[in-house]
Amino acid sequence: MNGLLTGSIWPLAVLVWPLLMGVVPLIPAWRTQAPWALPLAPLPALAFAALGAPGTTGVPDLVLGVELAAVPGGALLIGMTAAVWTVAGWQAALTLARGWRTGILVGFWCLTLAGNLGVFLAGDVVTFYLAFAAVSLAAWFLVVHDRTEGALAAGRVYITLAVMGETALLAGLLIGAQAADSLQITAVREALAVAPLGSVALALLIIGFGIKAGMVPLHVWLPLAHPVAPVPGSAVLSGAIVKAGLIGLVLFLPAGTGWGGLLVALGFLGAFGAALWGLTQRNPKAVLAYSTVSQMGLMLALVGAGQSAAFYALHHGLAKGALFLLVGVTAAASGTTARRVTLVLSGIVALSVAGLPLTGGALAKAAVKDGLAPAAAWAVTLSGVTTTLILGWFLHRLAVSIKPAPGPNWAALLAGTALLGAAALLLPWLLWSGTTDLPAGYPLRPGTMFDAAWPVLLGLALAAVLLRRPPPEQPPGDLLTLWRRPVLSPATHGPAVALPRPPLRRLMRLLVLTRRPEGALQRWSTAGLLLVGTVLLLAILLAAG
């Protein structure tokens, strides 16, 4: 059977293995142990990334011809993604209750994982879209896993935005593929820069990817979904899944278009706005969600400015995944020592995200600032203040609001998460010379250290003030709550299900109007009229002919 598969089998195996793991819950004998498939599913990807993501695969008969090859910076991103998913899977296997609901989660978790890895491996537009749809839509099951009212409501917002994003994305990709007369991602990107409808396509793509990447103002699903999803689900959402939107923009946004400026503007708006708005939250996971919006804002700005965001994304993914998982570890820390150890570890990882000198985060920031215009570099430095502030607030909320419950093995949970945190702190050191052009001693120079240190110190000082006078609490979802008004009483307004909000309600009424002409069509007097009309028409035509 020559021609079924060309090239190396490894990129394909990286994607197929999680899909196989996803089938485990369907086998009755394995069902109760199925969650242990979760930490195993990303292992081939981890090994693949450690080897530098080598090789390409072609499967010409699959869908419209699947081509796999790691994207630029793919080894870093695949490695980060696989690491976050592995440790989150470990925590999920240790903490989730066994039952049919977890079985469903396991299946869709693995599908989401395959999609998440797939966006970093796709060589053609259709494969990319397929992977993106998998990571985007299957992740809905991570959000609604608990089936609480809040989870289902967040799920509704999530799936609505995800489907809209998918639709926008497909339209944009179709325009690009047609203009390029090719399904190759590189060809499509080049064609988008010059195609007559290129700007329409780019606008659609930015909407589609922006929703996923948490770009302000399309980020509203993030702060709603994170607090309600199970802890490991939040970790992969925030650490890895949002990066799918980022890589989409990296892959498809042609260099030197006006859209880059828009991304920079929206990115910095999110970087500062979300970090400050996050201070109005009380749930530590909601605070972290806003921190993710803020950090993604920085990365979007980097992409808009034409910088590589992969190194930064590597650190953020590992660190943010670890911080989310630490919420779960804290909940399992019953003794005082255990609690203290967990909080200290959370503090160290948080400081790394803020960019404290000598941490992985400081290296990531130093690397990206080097290529930026002075104003943008200054903004990145300044964002250290707000990041420190929101993460300080997170640590405070973590300490006061998470009550330990007797539960699973704290030490085992901590071990996995500590590995992830250590990777966030140390990996940038190991990868420094391979991924940046800067000299090896650059992070240790006094100037660099000073640039990294003062925002953190200033942020810590502000955080101390903030703890004394916390801002008023606001519901998560910011912009979404602005246009949601109290639902009118169902007794006076039509159907008993009073779900739609006023703007939607007006739309619904418009839809109902279509019933009238439809009813007329189904009355048989109309059909009779049609018959008579046809005869008359024929007579006229006969006379004319």
Partner 1 sequence: MTAALPVLILLTSLIPAGVTFFLPQDRHLLRNTLNLGGAVLKLALIVAMLVAVGGGAVYEVALPLAPGLVLLLRVDELALLFVSLSATLWLLTTIYAIAYFGRKPELSRFFGFFSLCVAATTGLALSGSLISFFLFFELLTLSTWPLVAHKQDGASLKAARSYLLYALPGSVALLWAIIWLESATGPVLFTEPPDLGALDPWALRAIFALFILGVGVKAALVPLHGWLPAAMAAPAPVSALLHAVAVVKAGAFGVVRVIYDVFGAATVAALGVGVPLAVLASITILWGSVRALQQDEIKKRLAFSTVSQVSYIVLGAALAGPYAMIGGLVHLIHQGLMKITLFFCAGIYDERAGVKRIEGLNGLGARMPWTSTCFSLGALGMIGLPPMAGFVSKLYLGLGAVEVGAPWVLAVLAGSTLLNAAYFLPLLYRLWFLPAAADAEGDERAPALVGPAVVTAAGTVGVGLLAASAISPLGWASLIVTRGYAP
Say whether residue 515 binds partner 1 (CB under 8 A). Answer: yes
Say whether residue 535 binds partner 1 (CB under 8 A). Answer: yes
Q: How far apart are CA 176 and CA 181, in angstroms?
A: 8
Say whether residue 99 binds partner 1 (CB under 8 A). Answer: no
Q: Given candidates 170, 269, 458, 462, which one binds partner 1 under the rule CB under 8 A?
A: 170
Q: How far apart are CA 392 and CA 466, in angstroms?
A: 9
Contact 341, 333 (CB under 8 A): yes
Q: Residue 436 has what DSSP assignment?
A: -
Phi, psi angle pair for 7, to nearest 5°: 80, -160
Give the nearer residue to partner 1 in terms of CB position, either 126 or 449: 126
Give the nearer residue to partner 1 in terms of CB position, either 199 or 474: 199
Site string for partner 1, 390-419 (x = CB under 8 A): ------------------------------
Whose CA is closest to 38, among 78, 128, 98? Answer: 98
Q: What is the per-residue burial (b if ≥16 Cβ within 10 Å, else e) of 340-366? A: ebbbebbbbbbbbbbbbbbbbbbbbbb
- The Cβ of residue 479 has, within 10 Å, a number of other Cβ atoms equal to 13
- Transcribe 229-282 into DSSP letters: S-HHHHHHIIIIIHHHHHHHHHHHS-TTSTHHHHHHHHHHHHHHHHHHHGGG--
Q: How far apart are CA 206 and CA 253, in angstroms?
A: 8
Give the nearer residue to partner 1 in terms of CB position, either 460 or 508: 508
Give the nearer residue to partner 1 in terms of CB position, either 87 or 228: 228
Q: How far apart are CA 138 and CA 22, in angstroms?
A: 12
Q: Given candidates 60, 434, 439, 475, which one binds partner 1 under the rule CB under 8 A?
A: 60
Q: Given candidates 13, 174, 438, 488, which one binds partner 1 under the rule CB under 8 A?
A: 174
Question: Which position has the token pair 């896993």?
Answer: 145
Say whether residue 203 binds partner 1 (CB under 8 A). Answer: no
Q: What do you get for the CA distance between the two ends of the chain, in Å?
A: 62
Q: Given candidates 63, 194, 415, 467, which one binds partner 1 under the rule CB under 8 A?
A: 63
Residues 6+ apart with CB under 8 A from 126: 63, 64, 65, 66, 183
Whose CA is closest to 65, among 157, 18, 128? Answer: 128
Instruction: Give the number of residues written for the chain.
Output: 545
Q: Given candidates 13, 62, 377, 399, which one binds partner 1 under the rule CB under 8 A?
A: 62
Site string for partner 1, 148-167 (x = CB under 8 A): ----x------x---xx-xx
Strands of 264-360 (E only): list them. Answer: none
Say whether residue 496 binds partner 1 (CB under 8 A). Answer: no
Least Å from the CB of residue 487 to partner 1: 19
Kindly give the interhelix angle for 310-332 and 336-354, rounded to the nearest 10 degrees.
Answer: 160
Least Å from the CB of residue 486 to partner 1: 24
Site string for partner 1, 211-240 (x = CB under 8 A): ------------------------------
Say whether residue 261 binds partner 1 (CB under 8 A). Answer: no
Say whether residue 528 binds partner 1 (CB under 8 A). Answer: yes
Give the nearer residue to partner 1 in terms of CB position, either 139 or 348: 139
Q: How far apart are CA 13 and CA 95, in angstroms?
A: 28
Site string for partner 1, 116-135 (x = CB under 8 A): ----------x--xx--x--
Say whether residue 465 binds partner 1 (CB under 8 A). Answer: no
Question: Which position has the token pair 């630490």?
Answer: 326
Say whether residue 499 binds partner 1 (CB under 8 A). Answer: no
Give the nearer residue to partner 1 in terms of CB position, either 107 or 284: 107
Q: Given candidates 69, 137, 240, 303, which one binds partner 1 under the rule CB under 8 A?
A: 137
**Binding positions for partner 1, rule: CB under 8 A:** 60-65, 126, 129-130, 133, 137, 144, 147, 152, 159, 163-164, 166-168, 170-171, 174-175, 177-179, 197, 200, 511-512, 514-515, 517-518, 521-522, 524, 526-528, 530-531, 533-535, 538, 541, 545
